[in-house]
Chain A
Amino acid sequence: MTRARYLAPLMALGLVLAACTSASPSASPGTSSGPSASAGPSTGEDDLTGQSVTVIGTWGDAEEEAFLAMVKPWEDATGATVKYTGTRDINTILTTGVASGVLPDLAGLPGPGQMAEYAAAGALKPLDDVLDIATYESETASGLVSLGQADGSTFGVFIKASVKGLIWFNPGLYDYTDNAPATWDDLLTQGAANQGSAQALWCLGIESGAASGWPATDWIEQIVLHQAGPDVYNQWWAGDLAWDSPEIRGAFEVYMNDVVGKSFGGGTNAVATSFLTAGDPLFTSPQGCEFFHQASFITGLGDFPNRTAGTDYNAFPFPSINAAYANAVEGAGDLFGMFHDTPAAKSLMRYLVTADAQNIWVRIGGALSANKNASDYPDDISSTMGSMVANAEMLVFDASDQMPAAMNEAFWSTMVSLTNGSITIDKALSDLDAVAADAYGS
């Protein structure tokens, strides 16, 4: 247990920064069919009448509508059409597609690892000559830019992002809005003092269908990041640090003692509860819990959309465990890549990274922009979260998503067993080390 040693009151400052510069006219005086970089709608004025772009992504329901709203101005300006298919089986489509050569023009990519594989296979087209890279890099959070690179070229861009490691609370019970706990110990003591009628400190739910366990891996990631710092964090997902090292073991211990041990309904309930509705007990009377840890996108899920931001719920950033890493932020986002370099696909790609395009989804809600200049957030909370991504001093990406897929999956699955009480921390760590020996090798 190393966590209590480093107290850092500075914390939240680094996170809640002002973001937005003015809305730039954005985008790419691209190479080929040069849309003007000047004023006016940055939809790229290529005449692509009658052409179409096939797009496959995981966005469904309201996300699908938001994406279609986002591409509408481009369709209007160019005369081309976007044929979007949303499916959560995107892994299957892309694995099969890369192997057989049948691919959509553009697609959401499962993660940086798969992106690199598809790029190496020659399926994914480099974007260096498609985008105005200098503009793209200057407008995009730096951590996100490098995540889209493989072998020195840009293959993936982010058209929306999210920030992880937020602690949600109900101001009706106790309002932490202006006095967020700065350290993990503060959080535990203040939480206990202000718990009132809430039945437990934490709400915890890690069920997520075939990806069950990921909310628990996010917990471990946050603890590692704030306890051991970004360098250790990056070594860890890269496979250069054993699972059974003091840093990682320490994070597992914090998770089991301070989180699972203080959660509403305990570990069994956490495994049985979908992360989608895990935060709902924040809004029951009496409250099931005082705090709920989840990424920014939770505002669109469970009972959150029925509640009012600011009065019914609010959030503060993950408190520091070691003061040195108070400013570290974990981001995540939807990587997007191009498989066919048709004129229409290239034009759409240029459009999607612009602030004008990303502002459309941002205004609809439920998304943070990857472009720093897109900041038309519908409420203060979203705006704050958006600036956390845009201005983070130490931005890291979801660790488990950067691990080899087999490692990631084993991490999820082990967290389910551990949270359920089926295995001990010792067993969990040795199992994960065994998987690592195999997964990083190939």
Chain B
Amino acid sequence: MTTAASTRPRGARPGWFARARGRVGVHAVLAILMIVWLLPTVGLLVNSFRQPAAVSASGWWEGLTPPYDLTLENYAHVLARNGIADAFINSLFITIPATVIPILVAAFAAYAFSWMEFRGRNLLFVVVVGLLVVPLQTTLIPILRLFASLGINGQFLAVWLAHTGYGLPFAIYLLRNYMGGLPREVFESAAIDGASPVTSFFRLALPMSVPVIAALAIFQFLFVWNDLLVSLIYIGAANPDNLPLTVNLANLVNSLGGGWQALGAAAFLSMALPLVVFFSLQRFFVRGIVGGSVKG
């Protein structure tokens, strides 16, 4: 069960979609979609290298023609903020466990939902998925009270636990859908060979679910990395030293909303790590990771 060595899509094989006319259509549709999706971000990227005054005076494309008048000032301004290095490390300390814990906990639950028999299974599962709709803002006060009574508000642990709770419904839903689609024979034959459920889980279910776990890891990482509210509430008042990057960068803007031009540079600096995570996990998205063993 190793990673596919090549990312060469099957589409490149002869026999696939051979007609040239169709190919042109595919490329055209993809090109249009890519341009539409890229354009807004490119606008921000260009503007992040322009003088704040220029940004509100002329369109971003003016930065692409002479006189370019580009500057690194915005990036320098962001990087010069007080405590930004600490905030970055805090973000890592918050995000990594808040990604790992819900995925593991959800994997246990998804495995039970998929491959163990018990009464009320479907109903319980639907209730879990239904919890997706709970607005996390409604949980802030009771949970903050709870953390305060346990004395853990202000600590990373509080945020890990909270993000796990908030992330679980989706994680369980997605994993259960994927694990539930794995072929029954694999698990049955393992059981006949005497494998315990723990063995089946770690040797079969988890490895076969790698693509979806990679997807989940990306989403959870992104949500936690970009989260401001949860950290602000559960850490904020008690221990500002533990606050993440988002809280620090949000304060580039003053109380009246001025200074927003620096947010572009901040956005690219803060996006860098999640994008690295995406690119490095993307290799798990290729065909063949489950060895074609998933029943069609």
Taking beta carbons and an 8 Å cutoff, which residues of A are in contact with B? 54, 56-64, 68, 83-89, 92-93, 96-97, 99-104, 208-209, 274, 276-277, 280, 297, 300-303, 306, 334
Q: Which of B240, B247, B253 is packed against the most chain A CB atoms within 10 Å?
A: B240
Provide the bound-state CA to CA distance between A277 and B147, in Å: 43
- Known contacts A101-B148, A306-B53; is-contact A85 B257 (Cβ 8 Å): no
Whether A54 and B240, one on each chain, are in contact in the complex, defined by CB atoms closer than 8 angstroms, is yes
Chain B contacts for A103, CB-based, 8 A: 237
Provide the bound-state CA to CA distance between A61 and B263, in Å: 11
In the assembled complex, how far is the CB of residue B58 from the closest CB belonging to chain A, in whole angstroms? 12
Whether B53 and A63, one on each chain, are in contact in the complex, defined by CB atoms closer than 8 angstroms, is no
Whether B237 and A300, one on each chain, are in contact in the complex, defined by CB atoms closer than 8 angstroms, is no
In the assembled complex, how far is the CB of residue B273 from the closest CB belonging to chain A, in whole angstroms? 22
Provide the bound-state CA to CA distance between A87 and B236, in Å: 10
Q: Which of B237, B238, B240, B250 is packed against the most chain A CB atoms within 10 Å?
A: B237
The 8 A CB mask of B253-272 against A (1 = contact, 0 = none) is: 11111111010000000000
Provide the bound-state CA to CA distance between A63 and B259, in Å: 11
B294 at the interface (CB under 8 A from A): no
Whether B247 and A85, one on each chain, are in contact in the complex, defined by CB atoms closer than 8 angstroms, is yes
Whether A54 and B237, one on each chain, are in contact in the complex, defined by CB atoms closer than 8 angstroms, is yes
Show 30 residue pairs from A and B whose CB-CB distance is below 8 angstroms, ordered by the A residue: A54-B240, A56-B236, A57-B255, A58-B255, A59-B255, A60-B252, A60-B254, A61-B251, A61-B252, A61-B253, A64-B251, A64-B254, A83-B241, A84-B240, A85-B236, A87-B236, A93-B233, A99-B141, A100-B141, A100-B145, A102-B148, A102-B153, A208-B257, A274-B257, A276-B260, A280-B56, A280-B57, A301-B256, A302-B258, A303-B53
Provide the bound-state CA to CA distance between A56 and B229, in Å: 15
Chain A contacts for B241, CB-based, 8 A: 83
Q: Which residues of chain B in 129-164 are interfacial with respect to chain A, using CB atoms and an 8 Å cutoff?
A: 137, 140-142, 144-145, 147-148, 153
- Known contacts A97-B237, A100-B144; is-contact A277 B56 (Cβ 8 Å): yes
The SS class assigned to the A binding surface is mixed
Chain B contacts for A83, CB-based, 8 A: 240-241
Taking beta carbons and an 8 Å cutoff, which residues of B are in contact with A? 53, 56-57, 82, 137, 140-142, 144-145, 147-148, 153, 228-229, 232-233, 236-238, 240-241, 243, 247, 250-260, 262
Provide the bound-state CA to CA distance between A83 and B86, in Å: 14
Provide the bound-state CA to CA distance between A63 and B241, in Å: 20
Chain A contacts for B253, CB-based, 8 A: 60-61, 88
Chain A contacts for B145, CB-based, 8 A: 99-102
In the assembled complex, how far is the CB of residue A145 from the closest CB belonging to chain B, in whole angstroms? 22
Inter-chain contact total with CB atoms closer than 8 Å: 107
Provide the bound-state CA to CA distance between A313 and B185, in Å: 80
Whether B229 and A89, one on each chain, are in contact in the complex, defined by CB atoms closer than 8 angstroms, is yes
In the assembled complex, how far is the CB of residue A275 from the closest CB belonging to chain B, in whole angstroms? 8
Provide the bound-state CA to CA distance between A97 and B153, in Å: 12
In the assembled complex, how far is the CB of residue B164 from the closest CB belonging to chain A, in whole angstroms? 20
Chain B residue nearest to A300 (CB atoms) is: B258
Provide the bound-state CA to CA distance between A61 and B261, in Å: 12
Provide the bound-state CA to CA distance between A58 and B254, in Å: 7
In the assembled complex, how far is the CB of residue B153 from the closest CB belonging to chain A, in whole angstroms? 6
Chain A residue nearest to B238 (CB atoms) is: A102
The contact of B233 among A57, A63, A96, A306, by CB within 8 Å, is A96
Chain B contacts for A274, CB-based, 8 A: 257
Whether B148 and A61, one on each chain, are in contact in the complex, defined by CB atoms closer than 8 angstroms, is no
**Would you list the 8 A-B pairs with minimal beta carbon distance, nearest first?**
A58-B255, A60-B251, A86-B251, A100-B144, A61-B259, A100-B145, A61-B254, A85-B240
In the assembled complex, how far is the CB of residue A88 from the closest CB belonging to chain B, in whole angstroms? 7
In the assembled complex, how far is the CB of residue A350 from the closest CB belonging to chain B, in whole angstroms? 22
Chain A residue nearest to B140 (CB atoms) is: A96
Chain B residue nearest to A303 (CB atoms) is: B53
In the assembled complex, how far is the CB of residue B134 from the closest CB belonging to chain A, in whole angstroms? 16
The contact of A63 among B56, B148, B240, B255, by CB within 8 Å, is B255
Q: A92-B229, A100-B144 are in contact. List 9 more A-B contacts (CB 8 A).
A: A60-B254, A63-B254, A68-B82, A85-B240, A85-B247, A87-B236, A89-B228, A89-B232, A93-B237
Chain A contacts for B142, CB-based, 8 A: 100
In the assembled complex, how far is the CB of residue B91 from the closest CB belonging to chain A, in whole angstroms? 15
